Each structure stands twice: as structure tokens, then as C-alpha cells.
Amino acid sequence: MNLVGISINHKTSPLELREALHFNHNEIVEFIPRLKNSLFSEGVVISTCNRTEIFGFLKDHEINLSPVINELIQFKPVKGIQQEHFLKFFSCGAVRHIFSVASGIDSMIIGDSQILGQVKEAFEISEDLDFAGTSLRKIFDSAIKTGKRAIKETKIGEGAVTVSYAAVQVVEKIFSNLDKKSALVIGAGETGELAAVHLRDKNIGKLAISNRTIERAEKLAEKVHGEIIPYQFLKEQLHNFDIIISATSSDNFIISYEDIKSALKKRKISPVVLMDIAVPRDIDPDVKKIENVFYHDIDSLKIIVDQNLQRRKEQVPLVRKIIMEEMIGFFGWFNTLGVVPTIKTMRSFFEEIRNDELEKIKNKVSKEDFIKIEDMSRRMIGRILHNPTVKLREFAETGANIKEVAAHTMILKELFNLGEVPSNGKEINEEENKADRVNEKK
């Protein structure tokens, strides 16, 4: 199989190179015709913040990936990029890599939940641009199946692996129904935004944003359908929230021990969760001494992240097993492609003989008898060819030894003096099914 691929990712290059080579949707759409014209008969471009990869079947029989890399660099000129920044894949290795990417074990954060959707989307773009054939479709169908199986059958995607999500995980260990709780996110930067999005995804009952710059608070509040608490009134509103997540860039504490003590008094000692995910910290850590106050800072949340990452790493061998199973399945299918033309030729050969003989007796027997003979001869041919067809296909599906498959095919061709006929897997399947139906009826 002449599937090839190149990959520049977090293992091979620094962030600035990966960023520079990142393709958005429109760029992929623009780039694919260039690949189609010069290099590939079919292919896929996958681009995320941590990787850009091109996979496909080369038009040229010679396996040389340098033109692919050059095409990429020409399209996106990046200073300092070298051939060494790219991994190159061929045949079985390329399939394994695609499956690994889809299952999340090749991601920077093992078990990344977004990558499967990104792989799927990349393939859909190729399909829309008529750049994906049967084999590539099968490869990506199997890759997506691998990714889904990895999520379902292993714990590769379980547990929080970002600090903001870990904060939400801890909150869930304190409160059961977040839809009845209120949360305040202080700071509308990247971390605060992530925390707010996670809370919204968990159907938090009430969500409010507070930020020194009101415009940023408004922007985030609009995104997560939250309220805005003006920064200057922040301390007066603390008691209204069950969960407070703080992620500002302030140099000093913005919430003191006294603030929380007073808020808790107003809350009639109802529990409150404080997540301080800012560096330097926003909340006085002494608040943890107050009863019913659950305070966690970035260090304590990192313990959860590290534990979950370790657990995910332990799942990698299980995912590799799934990858291997899916590769066996894929190559089983792929190997049958080689025998399809032979099966087709063999069936045509026998069908021709049958038609010749039927033609000879057409005018010598009655119409009713001819129909009976026609049926009988079809059944006979079906039964004769059923076993060789099934055996040949099974033999190819095991994929154990390509040479042996070729030898068997060759013997068959020589025995019946068969020439090549253009292949069509679908037709063969239909013919086989027809023959099987006839046999079953019988």
C-alpha cells in the first residue's frame, strides 16, 4: 500500500513553528487543490494547534516525501523550518500513526477529547473536495472507529487534565447538582474563560463574571450567558455565590480572610468553594481554616491533573491493543482488494461458458425447459464458484502472507487461463450474494 504521510507536531518542533504551520479551514480548502494537482491522487490535511499532518496516496509510484514537505513550506513559508522537523510515514506505519492520532495517544495531553472530531472534520473537507477515495475513506472510518473504541473501552479520556477542569472536578465532589448552584468567575483571561466554559457545560445554575476591565467581562459573560458583577462591588457580592473561581493577574490578594469570614456569616455558614487558579494567588490561603470553606490553589489542583495524566498513560497499552485490532481489520479488508479482479475474471469466465452453452440449446428446447435449464445452470455455477471465491477472499483477509495470496491467484489464473478484467468490489459482492442466495434457496 503506498499510503504516505508527513507530520510536524509537539514531539518534533517548538510551538512557534507549529503555530506558523497551522492551517485554518479556509487554508486547507485552498491548499488541497495544490496537493491534488501535483502530488496526491487522494489525501487529507489535519491541522490542530499541536500538529499539521498530510496523508494520502501519491500519484507517483516513487516514494519521495520531500516534494510534499516543499509544497507545504511553499504554501506556508516559515523561517527556520527544516526537513528534520517532519516525521515521515509509509504504508502500515502511516495507518498506525493516523489511528494513534485519532485515539488521542499521540496528543500532547494524552487522551485529548478534541482530536477525534478534528480528524473527522479534516476527512470531511477532503471528501467535500472530492479528494478522498475508497481506501482513504476506509482508513479514516477505521481511525474514527478506533478513537471511539478508545474512549468507550478504556479510560484514556477520563479525569480532568487541565487546572480549570480539575477545579470543576473538585467542585463536583462538594456539590451534587451544579444546576442549583451559583458561581462567580473573577478574571476574564484565558484561564478564567476556560473555567467559566466548563461551569456552563456542567449546567451551573447561575454564572457571573467579574473583571477589572468591564469590556472583557461583558465579552465573556455574553459567551457563557452569565451576569456581570462590577469589580468595585465584588466583595459585597461574595456571599451570593457557592463557588468562586479566581484567575486574575493581580499581584496582591484581592479576597482576604475577613472578606470570606464575613461572606460566610451572611451565608449562614452554608458551604462555599474557593478555587484560586491565579499565579500569584488572588485569595488569602488562610481562608482554608474556616469551617465549610473549601479552598484550593493551583498547586493542589495540579495534584489532580498529574494523577489523571498518570492514569491516562496507564491506559495507553490498552489503546494500542485496540489500534492493533483495527489495523488487522483494515489490512484484512485492504488485502481483499488484490483478489477482487481475479474473482471477477473467474466469475465472468464461467458466466461466458454458461451463456455460450445456453445459446446452443436455446432453440432446441421448449421455453419452459429453457427457463429451467437457465436456473439450473446458474445454480450450478454459483455452487461451483462459491467455495473458491470465499476461500480466496478469506485467504486474503487473514493478510498473513501477501506472496501466498499472489501465488494462489496466479494458479487460479493459469488453470483457467484468465486475463485481467477491471475490478469492481461492489459488483463482485453483488454477484457473490446472488449466488449465495441461490444456494440458500436450494
Kindly write down the DSSP assignment for every residue of 227-290, as one continuous string.
EE--GGGHHHHGGG-SEEEE----SS-SB-HHHHHHHHHHTTT--EEEEE--SS-SB-GGGGGS
Those residues with Cβ within 8 angstroms of residue 7's Cβ, 6 or more apart along the chain or in another chain: 51, 52, 53, 86, 87, 89, 97
3-state DSSP assignment of residue 331: helix
Q: Is 2 exposed, middle or buried (0-12, 13-18, 19+ CB in 10 A)?
A: middle
In terms of CB distance, is 271 or 425 closer to another protein? 271
296 touching another protein, by CB under 8 A = yes
CB of 263 to another protein, least distance (A): 15
Is 158 within 8 Å of 312 (Cβ atoms)?
yes
In terms of CB distance, is 114 or 177 closer to another protein? 177
Size of the site for another protein (CB under 8 A): 20
CB of 309 to another protein, least distance (A): 13
AA identity, residue 30: E
3-state DSSP assignment of residue 8: strand
366 touching another protein, by CB under 8 A = no
177 touching another protein, by CB under 8 A = yes
CB of 266 to another protein, least distance (A): 12
Q: Which of 58, 229, 287, 304 binds another protein (CB under 8 A)?
A: 304
Is 331 within 8 Å of 92 (Cβ atoms)?
yes
CB of 167 to another protein, least distance (A): 12
Q: Which stretch binds another protein (CB under 8 A): 174-182, 191-199, 223-231, 367-375?
A: 174-182
291 touching another protein, by CB under 8 A = yes
In terms of CB distance, is 175 or 231 closer to another protein? 175
Helix H or strand E encompassing 70 = helix 66-75
Q: Which stretch binds another protein (CB under 8 A): 37-45, 103-111, 170-178, 399-407?
A: 170-178
288 touching another protein, by CB under 8 A = yes
**Catalytic status, residue 92:** no
CB of 303 to another protein, least distance (A): 5
State how far the Cα of 337 lies from the Cα of 122, in Å rounded to an integer: 25
C-alpha cell recorded at residue 256: 482576604
In terms of CB distance, is 83 or 177 closer to another protein? 177
Q: b/e string for 71-110 if b means 16 or more Cβ within 10 A? A: bbeeebebeebeeebbbbbeeeebbbbbbbbbbbbbbebb
300 touching another protein, by CB under 8 A = yes
CB of 320 to another protein, least distance (A): 20
176 touching another protein, by CB under 8 A = yes
Q: Which stretch binds another protein (CB under 8 A): 83-91, 142-150, 301-309, 410-418?
A: 301-309
Q: Which residue has the cell 477532503?
A: 126
182 touching another protein, by CB under 8 A = no
CB of 301 to another protein, least distance (A): 9
CB of 318 to another protein, least distance (A): 13
Kindly write down the DSSP assignment for every residue of 175-244, as one continuous string.
-S-GGG-EEEEE--SHHHHHHHHHHHHTT-SEEEEE-SSHHHHHHHHHHHT-EE--GGGHHHHGGG-SEE
430 touching another protein, by CB under 8 A = no
Give, as ranges, the residues between 18 and 37 that touch another protein (CB under 8 A): none
79 touching another protein, by CB under 8 A = no
Q: Exactly one of 49, 92, 269, 400 is catalytic; which is it?
A: 49
198 touching another protein, by CB under 8 A = no
- DSSP conformational letter for 420: P
Those residues with Cβ within 8 angstroms of residue 241's Cβ, 6 or more apart along the chain or in another chain: 182, 183, 184, 208, 272
Q: Which of 61, 79, 225, 268 binds another protein (CB under 8 A)?
A: 268
State how far the Cα of 442 lies from the Cα of 434, in Å rounded to an integer: 12
307 touching another protein, by CB under 8 A = yes
Those residues with Cβ within 8 angstroms of residue 357's Cβ, 6 or more apart along the chain or in another chain: 377
172 touching another protein, by CB under 8 A = yes
Q: Which of 294, 330, 331, 334 binds another protein (CB under 8 A)?
A: 294
Chain residues binding another protein by CB under 8 A are 170, 172-177, 268-271, 288, 291-292, 294, 296, 300, 303-304, 307
Enumerate the active-site residues.
Answer: 49
